[in-house]
């Protein structure tokens, strides 16, 4: 009878490990699939491109004024 208890304990432990691992994977996938971050990143990239274009225009103007 003692053997059966140990076996059940090991099975319970493995079930807990599997459940926790599944929860971890599910949470990770949810974070990866989060679309809100993609929209924010897209907006930031657009703003940075605009700022770089404005800086290039100013630099071109300054260079032409120095000549």
- HSE value, Cβ hemisphere, 13 Å, CA-based, for 42: 5
pLDDT tens series, the chain, 67 aa: 445 567 778 888 889 999 999 999 998 888 887 766 667 778 889 999 999 999 999 999 988 888 7
Give the pLDDT of residue 19. Answer: 92
Range of the domain at 37: 2-66
State phi, psi for 33 to the nearest 5 degrees: -80, 0
Give the pLDDT of residue 35. Answer: 62
Both tokens of 37, joined, read 């971050």
Both tokens of 63, joined, read 């260079």
| Overall domain count for the chain | 1
């Amino acid at each position: 009878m003692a053997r059966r208890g140990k076996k059940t304990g090991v099975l319970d432990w493995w079930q807990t490990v599997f459940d926790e691992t599944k929860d971890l994977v599910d949470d990770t996938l949810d974070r990866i699939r989060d679309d809100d971050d993609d929209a924010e990143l897209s907006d930031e990239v657009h703003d940075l491109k605009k700022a770089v274009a404005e800086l290039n225009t100013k630099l071109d103007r300054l260079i032409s004024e120095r000549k």
